[in-house]
Structure 1
Amino acid sequence: MGGRMQGMAGMILETKRLVLREMTQDDFPALCRTLQDEKAMYAYGHAFSDAEAQAWLDRQLGRCRRDGFGLWAVILKKTGRFIGQCGITWQDAGGIQVPEIGYLLERAYWHHGYATEAAVACRDYAFHTLGMERVYSIIRDTNIPSQNVAKRNGMSVCGSLVKHYHGIDMPHLIFCVSKKEA
């Protein structure tokens, strides 16, 4: 599972049902289907404006250029449709920078196992391709579905923190798994 696809520009990972590839500016409308959906963005406390969605995309493109990884487009193989994002980003976990596996899918594709499938592939990529020894997921304490994805990805709670976002204190749980545990 999750081998590197050779000869296909931007492709990073392939799973049984998904392809993960670098995002491009052309993905903006598809990205907005999630980032501008208030229900999909409940863990962020608001839906994004066009400017916030563009800043998000720019941040992912910059991460890929700078770090060699970031949040990638999740493409459903069967249809070729962009259904969300999943990948690895550097995040602050209480003052330390850690590699985080993040995922955010379009609501129509929730509860089909896609987030778990993509997250497991990203975990394995972090361990076997990037040589990381431990990966994390930092998840709002009220976001039970994302916590369940982290657990299915072999992670367990290893800490907590409070993020201050849009004037709201948001408690988060820090999940992690080491290469030895995976």
Structure 2
Amino acid sequence: MKILETPRLILREMTLDDDTDLCKMLQDPEVMYAYAHSFSDEEVRTWLNNQLRRYNEDGFGLWAVVLKETNEMIGQCGLTRQEFFEPVVEVGYLFQKQYWHQGYAIEAAEACKHYAFEQLALNEVWSIIRDTNYASMNVAIRNGMLVRGRKIKHYYGLDMPHYGFSVKREVDL
């Protein structure tokens, strides 16, 4: 099901058929460096099933990012419920390495921010980013976000500092 469309991209709900395309991202050590490990086949299936659960429970999740020109899934971007000192909704994004530095992440992330404000009537959205992930920080900044806090997340036995970036919806007075 198509959720969003931008000039170059379609964001749609993922399906079980997206397993192979997810593996291209989640099993690539360079793409997954901020997670400190690439995923096993089982972890990819769990990730995908978690998105399907989110669609049913929350009405949103990470969506497949499809390049209009080729109909190829090149990444994932969407909204997820996260904890950052309190419950927040995060704009998250992850793309195949060959599609980095071409503006796709910001194009998709901006669309998700607008969706959160206009369709879901949220007042604020976040991006929670590992402190070594400068490319993702730059996407958050270009998406109008500012650093609002820092938190250590514990993941796979590692302490990983993360910054919380957020932007608030502009309210017409």
TM-score (norm 2): 0.98
Q: Deviations over 1:125-181 (max 9, x none)?
A: 000000000000000000000000000000010011111000000000000000018
- Is the counterpart of residue 103 in structure 1 residue 96 in structure 2? no
- Is the counterpart of residue 138 in structure 1 residue 128 in structure 2? yes
Match among 119, 123, 129 for residue 113 of structure 2: 123
Match among 49, 52, 60 for residue 58 of structure 1: 49
State the SS of the aligned residue for 1:65: helix
Structure 2: runs of 5 or more not aligned: none
How far, CA to CA, are the matches of 1:30 and 1:83 in structure 2?
A: 8
How far, CA to CA, are the matches of 1:106 and 1:86 in structure 2?
A: 12
Runs of 4+ aligned structure 1 residues displaced above 3 Å come to none
How many aligned residue pairs are there? 171
Match among 59, 67, 82 for residue 76 of structure 1: 67
Identity %: 57
Within 5 A, what are the aligned runs for 1:1-182? 10-94=1-85, 96-180=86-170
How far, CA to CA, are the matches of 1:61 and 1:161 in structure 2?
A: 28
State the SS of the aligned residue for 2:98: helix
State the SS of the aligned residue for 2:152: strand
Deviation at 1:98, TM superposition (A): 0.2
Q: Deviations over 1:86-117 (max 9, x none)?
A: 000000102x1100000000001000000000
Instruction: Give the letter for the 2:24 counterpart.
Output: R
How far, CA to CA, are the matches of 2:16 and 2:5 in structure 1?
A: 21
Instruction: Give the letter for the 1:142 counterpart.
Output: T
Structure 1: runs of 5 or more not aligned: 1-9
Instruction: Give the letter for the 2:5 counterpart.
Output: E
